[in-house]
Structure 1
Amino acid sequence: MKRGIRWMAIVASVVLVVAAGAIGVALVGNSYAFDERHVEIPVTGGSLSGVLTTPKSGEAHGVVVMVHGDGPVDATQNGLYDPWFDGAAASRYATLSWSKPGVGGSDGDWLAQSLPDRAAEVGAAIDWAAAQPDVPTSTIVLWGASQAGWVIPEVVADRDDIAGVVAVGTAINWLKQGQFNLQAELDHEGADAEQRARAEAASTSTNALLERGASYEEYLGETTEADPMTRERWGFVQRSFRADATSDLTRAATHHVPWLLLAGEHDRNVDVHETAEVYRGIFGRDVEVTWVDAVHSMARPMVDDSEFIGFVTGVFWPRALLAHGVIDSYRGFLDQVTGSH
Structure 2
Amino acid sequence: MSTRPRRRTSTRRRRVVRTVLTTLVALALVAAGLGGVVVWQNSYDLREETVTVRHGGRTLHGVLALPEEGEGPFPLVVFVHGDGPVDATHDGFYRPMWESFARVGYASLSWSKPGVAGAPGDWLDQTMEDRAREAVDAIAWARQRPDVDADRIGLWGASQAGWVLPGIAARDGRIRFAVAVSPAVNWHRQGRYHLLAELRRDGASDAEVAAALRRRETVLELLERGAGHAEYVRAVGDPQGMTAARWRFVSRNHTADATAGLPALRGIPVLLVLAGHDVNVDTAETESAYRRLLPAPHLRVAHYPDATHALLRHEVETDPLRLTLTALCAPRSLFAAGFLSDQRRFLADVDTYG
Normalised to the residue count of structure 2, the TM-score between the two structures is 0.91
Specify the alignment match of 2:5 in structure 1. none
Are the equivalent residues in 1 in contact too, given 2:233–2:239 (CA < 8 A)? no
Q: 2:303 aligns with which of 284, 291, 297?
A: 291
Are the equivalent residues in 1 in contact too, given 2:58–2:134 (CA < 8 A)? no
Structure 1 segments unaligned to the other structure (5+ residues): none
Could you give the per-residue CA deviations for residues 193-238 of structure 1, whole angstroms, max 9, x where no partner exists?
2221221111111011111211222112112455051111111111
Give the match's secondary structure for 1:261. Answer: strand
1:234 paired with 2:241, answer no
Partners of 1:51 and 1:129 lie apart in 2 by 11
Specify the alignment match of 1:261 in structure 2. 272
Specify the alignment match of 1:116 in structure 2. 129
Partners of 1:335 and 1:3 lie apart in 2 by 62
Q: 1:330 aligns with which of 330, 335, 343?
A: 343
Partners of 1:303 and 1:51 lie apart in 2 by 28
Aligned-residue CA RMSD (Å)? 1.8
Are the equivalent residues in 2 in contact too, given 1:163–1:258 (CA < 8 A)? yes
Specify the alignment match of 1:248 in structure 2. 261
Are the equivalent residues in 1 in contact too, given 2:316–2:323 (CA < 8 A)? yes
Specify the alignment match of 2:45 in structure 1. 33
Give the match's secondary structure for 2:260. Answer: helix
Give the match's secondary structure for 1:208. Answer: helix
Could you give the per-residue CA deviations for residues 38-74 of structure 1, whole angstroms, max 9, x where no partner exists?
1001145541100000011234530100000111111
Change (3 A) 1:14 1:117: same
Q: 2:94 aligns with which of 39, 60, 81?
A: 81
Specify the alignment match of 2:23 in structure 1. 11
User: Identity of paired residues, percent?
Assistant: 42
The Cα of 1:31 is off from its aligned counterpart by 2.2
Are the equivalent residues in 2 in contact too, given 1:111–1:233 (CA < 8 A)? yes
Partners of 1:29 and 1:317 lie apart in 2 by 6
Could you give the per-residue CA deviations for residues 182-202 of structure 1, whole angstroms, max 9, x where no partner exists?
010001111112221221111
How many residues were matched structurally? 339
1:272 paired with 2:283, answer yes
Q: 1:310 aligns with which of 323, 333, 343?
A: 323
Give the match's secondary structure for 1:332. Answer: helix
Instruction: Return the letter of the residue paired with 1:305.
Output: T
1:185 paired with 2:198, answer yes
Give the match's secondary structure for 1:183. Answer: helix
Are the equivalent residues in 2 in contact too, given 1:141–1:165 (CA < 8 A)? yes
The Cα of 1:325 is off from its aligned counterpart by 0.9
Give the match's secondary structure for 1:138. Answer: strand
Specify the alignment match of 1:281 in structure 2. 292
Give the match's secondary structure for 1:236. Answer: helix
Instruction: Return the letter of the residue paired with 1:128.
Output: W
Are the equivalent residues in 1 in contact too, given 2:76–2:108 (CA < 8 A)? yes
Instruction: Return the letter of the residue paired with 1:71.
Output: G
Specify the alignment match of 1:201 in structure 2. 214
Give the match's secondary structure for 2:154. Answer: strand
Comparing 69-78 with 8-17, greater Cα deviation is found at 8-17
Partners of 2:313 and 2:301 lie apart in 1 by 18
The Cα of 1:340 is off from its aligned counterpart by 5.4
Specify the alignment match of 2:223 in structure 1. 210
The Cα of 1:10 is off from its aligned counterpart by 3.5
Change (3 A) 1:170 1:225: farther
Instruction: Return the letter of the residue paired with 2:194.
Output: N
Instruction: Return the letter of the residue paired with 1:262.
Output: V
Are the equivalent residues in 1 in contact too, given 2:47–2:66 (CA < 8 A)? yes
Partners of 2:97 and 2:287 lie apart in 1 by 22
The Cα of 1:150 is off from its aligned counterpart by 0.5
Comparing 109-118 with 39-48, greater Cα deviation is found at 39-48
Normalised to the residue count of structure 1, the TM-score between the two structures is 0.94
Comparing 212-221 with 70-79, greater Cα deviation is found at 212-221
Partners of 1:294 and 1:59 lie apart in 2 by 36
Are the equivalent residues in 2 in contact too, given 1:36–1:54 (CA < 8 A)? yes
Larger Rg: 1 or 2? 2
Structure 2 segments unaligned to the other structure (5+ residues): 1-10
